[in-house]
Amino acid sequence: MPRPGGASSAYLVRSGAAAILLDAGTGSFAKLALAIDYRQLGAIVISHMHSDHFFDLVPFRYTLKYGHLPLQRRLSLWLPPGGRNRLDALRHAVSVDAAADFFESVFDVREYEASDPLIVGDVTLRFRRTHHFVETYAARADCNGASITYSADTGPCDAVVDLARGASVFLCEAGFGLQRDEAAQSGHCTAEEAGEMAQQAGVTRLVLTHYPAAFQPQALVDAAKRRFAGSVVAAQDGLTQEL
């Protein structure tokens, strides 16, 4: 759930020739407007079909359809394998008489293949499946020698470590905060486990994200630093990292 005054998962990756939104969780579209004119986006890429990662495609759709600043093209929307069916279910949920092209009228909806790179402008995206409750994909964005890896939702996972190897910035979730919920399956990380993955991957900078409001950010940073020797910061809405 979003922290008070915040939004769920959404990360804007900008380069000289591209602007990509990784995930579009609840409340993120309003936050996006503080950072960029949505018409500058080249693509939206969704890691998995849990509500806190894609539900704001609905207000995004209405803005693209009826806003006073319409796009002259359909915006590329890349879903994980099988994502089209979940998006269609959302269409039925939000509008009982929604046309079949409810989303497709404004989005160019496609599913990415985890084994194939995705190129948006001067950014190359690569994917690896994570350890989560549903099919989920971490994403790595590379551009001109700089790189960002986004863990999406995951428990400790060698595939995510491999994807993040040597990355400039590693956005890693800490959904369990400071202590693992032993009654839950391992679909999320603690801050310390995020630090361990960052150390194994040899990244330059760790950004903890997707953490519960019950924990103080500094406590999470301190926990991650017990396992990771590099720079650590806890994400807040609007945080900017320059590479």
Q: Specify the CATH number for the domain of residue 81.
A: 3.60.15.10
Distance CA 153, CA 131 (A): 8
Residues 224 and 122 grouped into a single domain: yes
Distance CA 56, CA 45 (A): 13
Residues 122 and 35 grouped into a single domain: no
The Cβ-side half-sphere exposure at 234, using a 13 Å CA radius, reads: 23
What is the span of the domain harbouring residue 81?
A: 1-112
Distance CA 56, CA 149 (A): 22
Instruction: List the chain pLDDT tens, one digit each, 243 residues.
Output: 788 889 999 999 999 999 999 999 999 999 999 999 999 999 999 999 999 999 999 999 999 999 877 788 999 999 999 999 999 999 999 987 778 999 999 999 999 999 999 999 999 999 999 999 999 999 999 999 999 999 999 999 999 999 999 999 999 999 999 988 776 778 999 999 999 999 999 999 999 999 999 999 999 999 999 999 999 999 999 999 999
Residues 80 and 184 grouped into a single domain: no
Residues 228 and 152 grouped into a single domain: yes
- Specify the number of domains making up the chain: 2
